[in-house]
Every structure is written in structure tokens, then in C-alpha cells.
Structure 1
Amino acid sequence: MRDMTGVPIQQMADRVAGLMEERLRVRGQGLAEKLRKGGRLLPRRVRTAAEVLQTGAVMAQNPKMWAQVDQAAVAQAYDTCVRHLGGVDHKDRRKGALIGVLGSIAFSVLVVAVLLGAVLYWRGFI
């Protein structure tokens, strides 16, 4: 395993924050704010890994806390985040959201049509 210092951990956090902005379109300064704003867009294990990375980056800023950073856990968390965010396609996410909205609208129109038909039948018009 490579020897990590505070700067590479911060660089890892910055890289994950950049990927969140690029792939998920989450705005904000730094990983902590992006996790607060867009953490719900990540699966639980990836969100937890990003939180571990953020905690490690904050602890690495203080020389006394640096000794308590679990470097293997931070490296694993970074790999988990990068692996997940690297596979996210924002165009595909947008297309999926549009299909979901159109499906919801179609279902609503179908329910209204069925209810209208039932009321017309019940009133004797059909």
C-alpha cells in the first residue's frame, strides 16, 4: 500500500467532489456540501464511502488527528466512489427520469379514463 499524506486524501476528496458535479450535476463547494445537497442520489454504500472519505480529509488537515486516519479505509472508500461515479451517465439518468414522468402521466390519464367510463356506465349513458 502506498504511503498517504494529508494532501493526497484531500485530492481524493476533491476528485470525488468533481465527479459528483460532473456526473450527478450536484453544485457546491467541496465534498461535504455536495454530499449534503446530493447524497440522496448515491446508493447507501457509496454515500457511506464518500462520508468516510470526507471524514478522512477533514482529519488529515490536523496533524494530531492524522495519526487516527484509517488510510486503508479511506483508499477503499475512494475506490468505491470513483468506481460508482465513473459508471454514471447523466444523459441516461435524464432519459430515465423523463420516461418515469411520461409513464406517470400515462397511468394518470388511464385511471381518469377508466373512472370516467365507470361513472358514465353507472349513470346509464353507456
Structure 2
Amino acid sequence: MDLHERAERLAKLMEERLDIRGEGLATKTRRAGRRIPRWVRRELDVLVEALERVDHPKLAQQVDYARIETGTRRAEGWLENVDAWDRRKSVLIHWLAGNAMNILIVIAIALALMGWRGLI
């Protein structure tokens, strides 16, 4: 499997598992932000840099294919183990918990004001 096919596979996994849209691996890696660990981002950056060099005849000699092979295998393994449903569920739970806390604070302030004004 050449570098372009690996990049396509990783970009597809990022779109399926992490819901990251964009064109190409470089854009998706940049947009991923904190959704992926630092070491995965580092490995993907190495692959993106290699993709830029591999098309140039003299710069292609500088590409370390062994490091890219191990790095992409590790990144692909991490991306395959991401459970998209569990990630979406936890995002929804955190959003609901934050909103519930805000509603409780507003109710507590309203009750405190009503008590202070003598309406309760």
C-alpha cells in the first residue's frame, strides 16, 4: 500500500469515527484538534509531510518509510478502536449535564430572589 492509499484510508477513518469533514488528511488532521491524542496527530503530521515530499524526485529520498509504516499502523489501530456511537453518546450526555446545571442555577437564583423579596 503506497502513501496516498494510506492517507486516504486514514482520512476515511477520521471521517467515519470522529465525524471530521474536510478534503484530505492534512485538513482533517488540523481540524481534529483535541479529539485525537497528540501522538496520533504527530504520526499523521509525519505522513502528511511525507506526502508532500514523495512526489519530488530528490526529496523522496529523505522519506523514512519504516517510521511512516509503524506510525500509520499505530494511528490506524487507534482510529479503528474509536467507538463512534460511544463518542456521540458522551458528547450528548455532557451537553445535557451542562444545560441541566445551568437550569438549576437559574432556578436557585430565582428562588433566592423570590425569598428575598418576600414572595415565597
Structure 1 length-normalised TM: 0.84
Provide the aligned length of Structure 1 versus Structure 2: 120
Find 2:89's aligned residue among 95, 100, 104: 95
Shift of 1:99: 0.7
Shift of 1:8: 1.2
Find 2:13's aligned residue among 14, 19, 44: 19
Shift of 1:65: 0.9
Note the aligned Cα RMSD (angstroms). Answer: 1.7
Trace 1:111-122 onto structure 2 (pairs within 5 A): 111-122=105-116
Measured in 1, the distance between the counterparts of 2:55 and 2:5 equals: 12
Q: 1:43: which partner in 2?
A: 37
Shift of 1:95: 1.0
Letter in 1 for 2:91: A
Measured in 1, the distance between the counterparts of 2:98 and 2:15 equals: 28
Measured in 2, the distance between the counterparts of 1:39 and 1:121 equals: 46
Q: 1:8: which partner in 2?
A: 2
Write the deviation string for residues 77-126 of structure 1: whole angstroms up to 9, x where unpaired.
Answer: 20221011011122111111111111011101110111112112222333
Measured in 2, the distance between the counterparts of 1:30 and 1:15 equals: 10
Q: Which runs of 5+ in 2 are unaligned?
A: none
Structure 2 length-normalised TM: 0.87
